[in-house]
Amino acid sequence: MADELTGKIKHVGGKIQEEVGEFLGDKKMKRDGKLSQIEGEAEQDLERAADAVEEAAARKNAAKIAKESDI
């Protein structure tokens, strides 16, 4: 969860940086802002994927326990 929040903050900060760069005509600032957005989105995606893996493992374990208890 913390990494997802960190990613969201990085994404929003990058969006602000991109807009400021656009306003000032600073291509490097604008590019860096876009790159920060991409990095933030990647962090969010990674955290969501890790959560999905944990949930899948828990479901698999629960199914295994249920199957073994029917024997």
- Give the chain's domain count: 1
Has this prediction a pTM greater than 0.75? yes
Q: What is the end-to-end Cα distance of the chain in Å, rounded?
A: 38
In the predicted structure, residue 3 carries a pLDDT above the cut 80: no
CA distance 38 to 36: 5
Whether residue 14 contacts residue 36, with contact meaning beta carbons closer than 8 Å, is answered with: yes
Domain range holding 9? 2-69
* pLDDT tens string 14-38: 999 999 999 999 999 999 999 999 9
Span 35-52, pLDDT tens digits: 999 999 999 999 999 999
